[in-house]
Amino acid sequence: MKELTTIEELNQFLEENAEVVLLKHSTTCPISSQAYNEFMQYAKHEGMKPWGLVIVQTARPVSNEIAERFGVKHESPQVLYVKDGSVVWHTSHWNITEKNLKEAIA
């Protein structure tokens, strides 16, 4: 896991990895807390691809850059699966479950 706090860190992370999973997380939202727990269960059991964590309260410019760069409206919590510079799958809120992540990120 790499916490992304600047746009420069985001750029480097995306350049270094052809496939990544990005998790936008709000530390004050109970829905986001549940989504984070589901995501961590998935990460624990699946040995997943490199993933970046964006805490929206402290890294809003990074969150905005992700929305603009990939053309995916900002939501929080939100997961984006990026492959070769394009979002191939994304979801948000209650749809962030271990089961959905397993099915979408092969």
pLDDT tens per residue, range 22-66? 999 999 999 999 999 999 999 888 777 899 999 999 999 999 999
| Mean pLDDT of the chain, nearest integer | 95
Please tell me the predicted confidence (pLDDT) of residue 44. 87
Domain 2-104: assigned CATH number = 3.40.30.10
Residues in contact with 52: Cβ distance below 8 Å, sequence separation at least 6, in sequence order: 1, 2, 3, 4, 10, 13, 20, 21, 22, 23
Rounded to an integer, the average pLDDT of 7-31 is: 97
Q: Where are the domains of the chain?
A: 2-104
pTM value is: 0.94
Please tell me the predicted confidence (pLDDT) of residue 20. 95
